[in-house]
């Protein structure tokens, strides 16, 4: 988001190892959020204490919304033990009323819990919060990166009215292949989707995602290769163990895919503002 002109005013991350990586890389770019606006538990944040902002970006765990799925408002889930972090996102949107939101999740969220989860998310964002709702499954390989990594991108706008013409960005060719990632001749042009856990299955195991044939030899994916597959520059620092670094990379968004959507999203936000001024 910063690469396309954004300025971060608040961030939240609970995992101490991910916090270390975040601060190591972003403190120099966004010093104003440290320490007071670098939160460690979003469930305990008073939304009114968050600085005003235009765009909320978030990912959240995919969990059953058992109570909310029975036509209960999202505020009813607070303290019930049955909600998820999505409802903390909803609390913040309700209080701060940003111009837009950009949410990311695994593709499986669409059919999770027989579709109840996705229907609840949409109902809360559209009916309870009054935002528009767009969903698209984006593949990292459609935006320049050498892994499939399909992810559900959910985007919406506050004052869209009847305009409603937002569309996903066009696809782009690969800007690097797995041979570029490995700096050697790799047997695959597009790699396996980075995951969390399940390492070491072996080259010919159907569950394999981290073993590659490079220059005729078996190679195991490590953080330098994982960073390139996710679109991070080689200069991106990960001051944690290789195990923690691979976990973070497996949990990360694909940078190029997010940036492509961010450009489209910001352009559309500006278009909406121009339309409102003209009317």
Give the model confidence (pLDDT) of 104-124 as tens digits. 999 999 988 888 889 999 999
Could you tell me the pLDDT band of residue 19, with boundaries at 50, 70 and 90? very high
pLDDT at residue 63, rounded to an integer: 53
What mean pLDDT do residues 242-259 have? 97
What mean pLDDT do residues 90-95 have? 97
- Model pTM? 0.91
pLDDT at residue 161, rounded to an integer: 80
Could you tell me the pLDDT band of residue 279, with boundaries at 50, 70 and 90? low
pLDDT at residue 137, rounded to an integer: 97
What mean pLDDT do residues 12-23 have? 97
pLDDT at residue 69, rounded to an integer: 40
**Rounded distance, CA 43 to CA 95, Å?**
14
Residue 177 has φ and ψ, to the nearest 5°, of: -110, 175
pLDDT at residue 117, rounded to an integer: 86
pLDDT at residue 199, rounded to an integer: 94
**Rounded distance, CA 213 to CA 231, Å?**
21
Average confidence score pLDDT of the chain: 91
Helix (H/G/I), strand (E/B), else coil: 114: helix
79 pLDDT higher than 70: no
Reply yes or no on whether 62 is catalytic. yes
Which structure tokens are listed for 33?
């959020």
pLDDT at residue 75, rounded to an integer: 46
pLDDT at residue 68, rounded to an integer: 41
> Is the CB of residue 105 less than 8 Å from the CB of residue 80?
no
**Rounded distance, CA 104 to CA 152, Å?**
6
Question: Kind of pairing, strands 211-214 and 11-12?
Answer: unpaired
% of the chain beyond a pLDDT of 70: 91
| Nearest alpha carbon to residue 147 among 89, 189, 183 | 189
Greater model confidence, 88 or 112:
88
Compute the residue count for the chain.
279
pLDDT at residue 70, rounded to an integer: 45
pLDDT at residue 155, rounded to an integer: 98
Where in the chain are the domains?
2-172+237-278
Q: Which residues pair with 154 in a beta bridge?
A: 103, 135
Choice among 46-55, 61-70, 88-97, 173-182 with the minimum mean pLDDT: 61-70
**CB neighbour class for 158 (10 Å; exposed up to 12, middle 13-18, buried from 19):** middle
The one catalytic residue in 57, 62, 186, 211 is: 62
**CB neighbour class for 113 (10 Å; exposed up to 12, middle 13-18, buried from 19):** middle
pLDDT at residue 224, rounded to an integer: 98
| Nearest alpha carbon to residue 102 among 145, 65, 133, 129 | 133
CATH, domain 2-172+237-278, list 3.90.1150.10, 3.40.50.970, 1.10.390.10, 3.40.50.150: 3.40.50.150
| Nearest alpha carbon to residue 45 among 95, 81, 1 | 95
pLDDT at residue 67, rounded to an integer: 39
pLDDT at residue 164, rounded to an integer: 86
């Amino acid at each position: 988001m910063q690469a396309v002109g954004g300025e971060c005013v608040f961030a939240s991350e609970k995992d101490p190892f991910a916090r270390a990586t975040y601060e190591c890389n972003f403190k120099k770019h966004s010093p104003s959020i440290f320490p007071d606006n670098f939160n460690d538990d979003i469930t305990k944040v008073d939304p009114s204490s968050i600085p005003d902002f235009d765009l909320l970006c978030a990912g959240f765990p995919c969990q059953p919304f058992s109570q909310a799925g029975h036509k209960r408002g999202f505020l009813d889930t607070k303290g019930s033990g049955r909600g998820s972090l999505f409802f903390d996102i909803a609390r913040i949107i309700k209080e701060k009323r940003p111009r837009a939101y950009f949410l990311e999740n695994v593709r499986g969220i669409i059919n999770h819990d027989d579709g109840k989860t996705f229907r609840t998310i949409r109902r809360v964002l559209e009916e309870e919060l009054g935002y528009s709702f767009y969903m698209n499954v984006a593949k990292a390989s459609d935006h320049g990166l050498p892994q499939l990594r399909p992810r559900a991108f959910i985007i919406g706008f506050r004052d869209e009215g009847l305009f409603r013409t937002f569309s996903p960005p066009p696809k782009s060719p690969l800007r690097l292949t797995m041979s570029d990632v490995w700096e050697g001749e790799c047997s695959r042009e597009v790699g396996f989707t980075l995951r969390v856990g399940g390492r070491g299955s072996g080259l010919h195991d159907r569950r394999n995602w981290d073993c590659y044939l490079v220059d005729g030899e078996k190679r195991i994916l490590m953080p330098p290769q994982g960073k390139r597959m996710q679109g991070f520059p080689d200069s991106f620092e990960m001051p944690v163990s290789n195990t923690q670094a691979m976990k973070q990379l497996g949990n990360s968004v694909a940078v190029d895919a997010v940036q492509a959507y961010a450009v489209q999203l910001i352009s559309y936000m500006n278009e909406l503002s121009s339309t409102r001024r003209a009317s």
